[in-house]
């Protein structure tokens, strides 16, 4: 193969060429395999919990083991799968391609992010092997800092280190998007995926340090017995919750905004239409990021926060619904009179919209003070955030992975199997988590391994759904790996999509573009628009 | 592969990549210290009446450290300016000054830490409190076996709140106080575990001192082995001085907030 025709995968296949790479595409792949590992561990923990909950009695695991299972599940899924999922895998891979750049602004820093992630993951993994942590992913004090007899500090250290990786990733994305755009690629010609990742990066940079200091304070309190959070030592346990949720609520938007970016890319491509209301979709990402910093108190409605603070946080939480709804309405309008085809990425995106609407509306219920007091600490909350994080983010991640898979691997995935897996996931997901809304509304508390017998039917349904969901996740794992070797070779632009990433070969050459592209038009300029352009409102948006 | 704007500024934004990067990093740092300052506020307003210390720290030492860091900010700036106009000799001088200021700051800070470390509050069985700096412990001093004596340079008070608000008391008389181990109910030094004020004081100044230390390592590297770059790529070297200088100014700025919050209130 001549030097000219080599792609980023064939420019070296030694272990060293992967572990010391500064190529953003290869780093994206490194992240993909690392997060899959953590996803698998966390999914096994979830499976064990679902099996335990088949019967009202605690017959599979002890209460203590159950506590450790949901902590492992939460910690790994949040910090070692969801947060790096779309940003670090897909974002890393496509941001420079989308903006016509040859790499990130700081390629070495990008690799460092991955190493920090791996070192952090090692500590988390080690804490699990030593016997796990039983505090839940929220590490509430003073239980975590004084009473828990498990490996809290080591787990916190793992998250702390991985957090620095997140900060550096966010920083790298912002600088890259600011300075490395191709000639002609102005801010309002940027793909919406870039806008959403820009907003995500701002949160990564500004919120993650607060988590770092919170976990550090919790750890020094645990190690040296100094009084920050423990009331016995004069500290303030609610202070911990304020600090923790000041990070962790924006973190929820780290876990959903990138998904929304994927939806905007995929929906325009498979509806063959320009996005409806580009400016609104772009700025709603920014609005979600900004307002997201002001709503942390809705996690603390029942933790001695004043009722007036509760009301303020309740209203601010309602406000987040506005930009979120703007996005949903604009996506729906994009579908209107589009020529829609149902390839696998599109099925994922449509299920994203359905599940996000359910998760979002129940979020409004939870933001309502009296309703929250009723369902606080029940399965209703569990169902709500799984609809956002799994129904939303994981679905969008799968959609994005399938959408860019031809670009990443240079091969097509088997379309029929892809569609089947997407449908199985949608069905399995709803069967798993919809019964949990009912369970929560009826009053079943979360984080228990035994429950009253009248709840059994819904738990059985949920476990059955989880098995279907498991099959749904297993399928892509198998056929995507298969397609790397045996899939049909992908052309440069198999979806006939707009966007610079489709103008280079699949897989792209090491330096992305042989010639720096020049951008002369707005994004999502899909051909059908020209035919019906005058009819749809979308075409008038930019005029 | 050529990454654009690593050295030259992008014309429309006026900054090169590393400069934008360091500003974002500093924004992140602001949030890190912001978390600590918020904790300080909440712990302070949540403290029991009369139990938040006033006047525990030596304002003179704090002022000295403030002046030292302010000087170091000036010398960092002069070092960068010297690079900018190509006067490498001046750069070396001013950068050495910055480094010396950093070490002086850390020296004074360690002295202050040590001063707290040997400061003891002793609850006595009769309900009074002995408080002061450790002079000596007798050879057979053992708290558990209740043998021996401990001598402090300090005083004995009846009301614990007198130990907390030092600023409202005039002419505190300090003397040698010797206490028998058998009379001691509880003895604790002024470490971070002593109360929430010291907890947040040590974490805030400790984290700040770590930043000073980190900054010193970077400055030391650029002054020492890193200066070779001046010969090969003076523009990039000047950029490095600017970026590390921005970090250094941030660290100084944090102290400008720490000083009034911890020493003057």
| Chain A residues lying within 8 Å of B33, measured CB to CB | 213
The answer to whether the CB of B244 falls within 8 A of the CB of B102 is no
| Cβ within 8 Å, pair B192-A220 | yes
Calpha distance A273→A420 (Å, rounded) = 25
Among positive and negative, which fits the CA dihedral A502, A506, A507, A511?
negative
Examine residue A10 and state whether it is found in any structural domain, yes or no.
no
Among positive and negative, which fits the CA dihedral B3, B7, B12, B15?
positive
Confidence of residue A4 (pLDDT cuts 50, 70, 90): low
Nearest to A293 by CA among A241, A322, A254, A258: A254
> pLDDT tens digits for B80-132?
999 999 999 999 999 999 999 999 999 999 999 999 999 999 999 999 999 99
Higher pLDDT: A387 or B139? It is A387
Q: Which two tokens stand for residue B180?
A: 């028998």
Q: Is A304 on the interface with B (CB under 8 A)?
A: no
Calpha distance B244→B238 (Å, rounded) = 10
Calpha distance A132→B82 (Å, rounded) = 55
> pLDDT tens digits for B200-249?
999 999 999 999 999 999 999 999 999 999 999 999 999 999 999 999 99
Calpha distance A58→A53 (Å, rounded) = 8
Does position A146 have pLDDT exceeding 80, yes or no? yes
What average pLDDT is seen over chain B? 94
Q: Is A236 on the interface with B (CB under 8 A)?
A: yes
Nearest to B155 by CA among B105, B119, B185: B119
Confidence of residue B169 (pLDDT cuts 50, 70, 90): confident
Examine residue A127 and state whether it is found in any structural domain, yes or no.
yes
Give me the residue spans of the domains in chain B.
Answer: 17-116+194-264, 118-189
**Percentage of chain A exceeding pLDDT 70:** 96
Domain at A478, CATH number: 1.20.210.10
Does position B10 have pLDDT exceeding 90, yes or no? no
Give the pLDDT of residue B91: 95
Nearest to A117 by CA among A193, A35, A182, A41: A35
Q: Which CATH class is domain B118-189?
A: mainly beta
> Shortest Cα distance from A235 to chain B (angstroms)?
6
Q: In what order do the strands lie in the sheet with B175-180?
A: B175-180, B149-157, B129-137, B119-124, B184-189
Q: Which domain holds residue A173?
A: 27-540
For A142, counting Cβ atoms within 10 Å of its Cβ (0-12 exposed, 13-18 middle, 19+ buried), the class is buried
| Chain B residues lying within 8 Å of A208, measured CB to CB | 28
| Cβ within 8 Å, pair A105-B195 | no
Instruction: Give the best residue of A227, A289, A514 to mutate against chain B (max B CB count within 10 A).
Output: A227
What is the DSSP annotation of B27-61? HHHHHHHHHHHHHHHHHHHTSPTT-S-BS-S-HHH
Among positive and negative, which fits the CA dihedral B160, B162, B163, B165?
positive
What is the DSSP annotation of B199-212? HHHHHHHHHHHHHH
3-state class (DSSP) for residue A505: coil
Instruction: Give the best residue of B9, B12, B20, B21 to mutate against chain A (max A CB count within 10 A).
Output: B21
CATH architecture for segment(s) B17-116+194-264: Up-down Bundle (1.20)
What's the average model confidence in pLDDT over A210-239? 94
Q: Which two tokens stand for residue A496?
A: 């006939």
| Cβ within 8 Å, pair A210-B17 | no
Instruction: Give the best residue of B6, B14, B24, B160 to mutate against chain A (max A CB count within 10 A).
Output: B24
- Closest alpha carbon within chain B to A186: B12
Confidence of residue A3 (pLDDT cuts 50, 70, 90): low
Q: Mention every residue, 6+ apart, whose C-beta is less than 8 A from residue B245.
A: B76, B77, B79, B80
Helices B17-45 + A152-179 axis angle, to 10: 140
Nearest to A234 by CA among A246, A244, A226: A226
> pLDDT tens digits for A359-384?
999 999 999 999 999 999 999 999 99
Does position A534 have pLDDT exceeding 80, yes or no? no
Helices A107-130 + A152-179 axis angle, to 10: 160
Confidence of residue A535 (pLDDT cuts 50, 70, 90): very low
Structural domains of chain A, count: 1
- pTM score, whole prediction: 0.94
What ipTM, to 2 d.p.? 0.94
| Chain B residues lying within 8 Å of A145, measured CB to CB | none
> Shortest Cα distance from B43 to chain A (angstroms)?
7
Q: Is A182 on the interface with B (CB under 8 A)?
A: no
The answer to whether the CB of A221 falls within 8 A of the CB of A145 is yes
> pLDDT tens digits for B172-199?
889 999 999 999 999 999 999 999 999 9
């Amino acid at each position: 193969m001549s030097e000219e025709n080599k792609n980023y995968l064939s420019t070296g296949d030694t272990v060293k060429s992967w572990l010391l790479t500064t190529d953003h595409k290869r780093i994206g792949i490194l992240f993909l395999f690392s997060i899959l590992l953590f996803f698998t561990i966390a999914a096994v923990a979830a499976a064990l919990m679902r099996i335990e909950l088949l019967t009202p009695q605690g017959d599979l695991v002890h209460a203590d083991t159950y506590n450790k299972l949901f902590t492992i599940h939460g910690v790994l899924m949040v910090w070692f799968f969801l947060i790096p999922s779309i940003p670090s895998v897909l974002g890393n891979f496509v941001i420079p391609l989308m903006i016509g750049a040859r790499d990130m602004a700081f390629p070495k820093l990008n690799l460092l992010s991955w190493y920090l992630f791996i070192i952090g993951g090692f500590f988390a993994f080690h804490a699990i092997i030593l016997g796990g942590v039983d505090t839940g992913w929220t590490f509430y004090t003073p239980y975590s800092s004084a009473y828990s007899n498990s490996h809290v500090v080591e787990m916190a250290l793992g998250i702390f280190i991985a957090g620095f990786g997140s900060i550096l990733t966010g920083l790298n994305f912002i600088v890259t998007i600011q300075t490395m755009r191709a000639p002609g690629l102005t801010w309002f010609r940027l793909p919406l995926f870039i806008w959403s990742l820009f907003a995500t990066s701002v949160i990564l940079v500004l919120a993650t340090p607060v988590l770092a200091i919170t976990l550090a304070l919790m750890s020094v309190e645990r190690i040296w017995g100094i009084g920050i959070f423990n009331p016995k030592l004069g500290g303030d346990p609610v202070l911990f919750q304020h600090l923790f949720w000041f990070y962790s609520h924006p973190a929820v938007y780290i876990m959903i905004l990138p998904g929304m970016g994927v939806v905007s890319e995929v929906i325009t491509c498979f509806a063959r239409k320009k996005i409806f209301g580009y400016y609104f979709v772009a700025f709603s990402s920014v609005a979600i990021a900004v307002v997201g910093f002001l709503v942390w108190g809705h996690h603390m409605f029942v933790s001695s926060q004043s009722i007036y603070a509760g009301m303020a946080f309740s209203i601010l939480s309602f406000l987040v619904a506005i930009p979120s709804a703007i996005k949903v309405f604009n996506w729906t309008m994009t579908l209107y009179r589009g020529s829609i085809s149902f390839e696998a990425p599109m099925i994922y995106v449509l299920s994203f919209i359905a599940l996000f609407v359910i998760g979002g509306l129940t979020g409004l219920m939870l933001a309502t003070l009296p309703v929250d007091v009723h369902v606080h600490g029940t399965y209703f909350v569990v169902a709500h955030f799984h609809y956002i994080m799994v129904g939303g983010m994981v679905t969008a991640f799968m959609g994005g992975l399938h959408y860019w898979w031809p670009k990443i691997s240079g091969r097509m995935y088997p379309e029929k199997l892809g569609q089947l897996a997407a449908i199985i996931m949608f069905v399995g997901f709803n069967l798993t988590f919809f019964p949990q809304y009912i369970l929560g509304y009826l009053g079943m508390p979360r984080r228990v391994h035994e429950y009253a017998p009248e709840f059994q039917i819904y738990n059985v349904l949920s476990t059955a759904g989880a098995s279907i969901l498991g099959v749904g996740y297993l399928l892509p794992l198998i056929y995507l790996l298969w397609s790397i070797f045996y899939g049909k070779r992908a052309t440069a632009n198999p979806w006939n999509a707009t966007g610079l990433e489709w103008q280079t070969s699949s897989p792209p050459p090491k330096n992305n573009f042989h010639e720096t592209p020049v951008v002369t038009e707005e994004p999502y300029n899909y051909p059908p628009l020209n035919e019906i352009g005058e009819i749809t409102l979308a075409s008038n948006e930019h005029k | 592969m050529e990454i654009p704007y690593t050295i030259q500024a992008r014309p429309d934004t006026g900054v090169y990549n590393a400069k934008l990067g360091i500003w974002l990093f500093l924004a992140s740092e602001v949030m890190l210290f912001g978390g600590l300052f918020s904790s300080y506020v909440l712990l302070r307003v949540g403290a029991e009446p009369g139990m938040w210390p006033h006047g525990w720290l030596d304002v003179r030492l704090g002022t000295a450290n403030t002046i030292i860091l302010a000087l170091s900010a000036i010398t960092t700036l002069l070092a960068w300016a010297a690079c900018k106009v190509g006067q490498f000799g001046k750069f070396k001088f001013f950068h050495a000054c910055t480094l010396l200021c950093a070490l002086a700051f850390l020296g004074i800070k360690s002295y202050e830490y040590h001063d707290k470390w040997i400061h003891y509050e002793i609850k006595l069985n009769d309900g009074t409190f002995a408080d002061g700096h450790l002079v000596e412990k007798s050879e057979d001093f053992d708290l558990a076996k209740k043998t021996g004596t401990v001598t402090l340079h300090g005083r004995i008070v009846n009301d614990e709140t007198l130990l907390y608000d030092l600023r409202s008391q005039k002419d505190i008389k300090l003397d040698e106080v010797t206490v028998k181990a058998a009379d001691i109910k509880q003895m604790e030094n002024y470490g971070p575990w002593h109360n929430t004020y010291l907890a947040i004081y040590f974490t805030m100044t400790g984290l700040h001192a770590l930043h000073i230390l980190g900054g010193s390592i970077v400055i030391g590297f650029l002054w020492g082995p890193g200066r070779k770059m001046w010969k090969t790529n003076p523009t990039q070297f000047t950029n490095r001085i600017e970026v590390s200088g921005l970090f250094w100014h941030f660290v100084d700025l944090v102290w400008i907030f720490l000083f009034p919050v911890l020493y003057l209130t």
